[in-house]
Amino acid sequence: MRFLPGSCRVPSLVLIALFAAMLLPAAASALELQIVNESGREPEDVYVTVAGEAGTFDVPGMVNDEPKKLSEIPEGKLTIEKLISGRVYIAYGAGVTLSVPFDSPTRFDWAELTVTPVAADVANLTAVDQFGIGMRLDTYDEAEEHLEALSAANSDAVFAAMQGIPGGVEATVRDGGDNVIRVLSSLHTSAYPDLGEYVRSLSGKTVTLHTAFFGKPFTTSQYSGTFGPDGTITLAGASNPAEAAPASFTVQGEELIEDIYTGAHTPNDLEGTIRRDLLAGFSTGLWGGRYGNDALSFCSDPMSTEQGSWCPKGFNQPAFGDARLELSPFPTCEQYAAVINQYSDSYGNPYSDASKRVTVGLDQPVSGGAVKTLKLTILPDSGNSQPQAGGNPNCGAAAPAPAARTKVRLHLRRRARAGKRIVKIGVVGCSAACGRVWAVAKHGRRVLGHRFFETPARKRGLALKLTRPGKRLLARKRRLKARVDVWVTPPGQAKRHLHRRIVLLAR
pLDDT of residue 403 exceeding 70: no
Tell me the pLDDT tens digit for each residue of 409-426: 888 888 988 888 899 989
pLDDT of residue 501 exceeding 90: no
Distance CA 230, CA 208 (A): 19
CA angle 125, 130, 133 (to 5 degrees): 60
Highest mean pLDDT among 27-36, 210-219, 391-400: 210-219
Tell me the pLDDT tens digit for each residue of 308-346: 999 998 898 989 999 999 889 899 999 999 999 999 999
Residue 23 pLDDT: 38
For the chain, the 3-state helix, strand and coil shares in percent, each to the nearest 5, are 20, 35, 45
499: pLDDT confidence band, cut at 50, 70 and 90? low
Average the pLDDT over 273-287 and give the result.
96
pLDDT of residue 29 exceeding 80: no
25: pLDDT confidence band, cut at 50, 70 and 90? very low
Residue 239 pLDDT: 97
Residue 90 pLDDT: 98
Tell me the pLDDT tens digit for each residue of 160-173: 999 989 999 999 99
Residue 374 pLDDT: 98
Tell me the pLDDT tens digit for each residue of 292-304: 999 999 999 999 9
Helical pair 253-262 and 270-283, crossing angle rounded to 10 deg: 80
Distance CA 335, CA 420 (A): 53
Residue 15 pLDDT: 33
User: Domains in the chain, ordered, with CATH?
Assistant: 15-188+337-378 (2.60.110.10), 196-323 (no CATH), 408-506 (2.60.40.1930)
Tell me the pLDDT tens digit for each residue of 63-86: 999 999 999 999 999 999 999 999
Residue 334 pLDDT: 94
Tell me the pLDDT tens digit for each residue of 352-386: 776 678 999 999 998 889 999 999 999 999 999 99
Average the pLDDT over 452-468 and give the result.
88
Distance CA 260, CA 330 (A): 15
Element (H, E) at 341: helix 335-343
Confirm if 163 and 402 have CB atoms less than 8 A apart.
yes
Rounded to the nearest integer, the mean pLDDT of the chain is: 89
Tell me the pLDDT tens digit for each residue of 201-247: 999 999 999 999 999 999 999 999 999 999 999 999 999 999 999 99
Residue 138 pLDDT: 98
Residue 10 pLDDT: 30
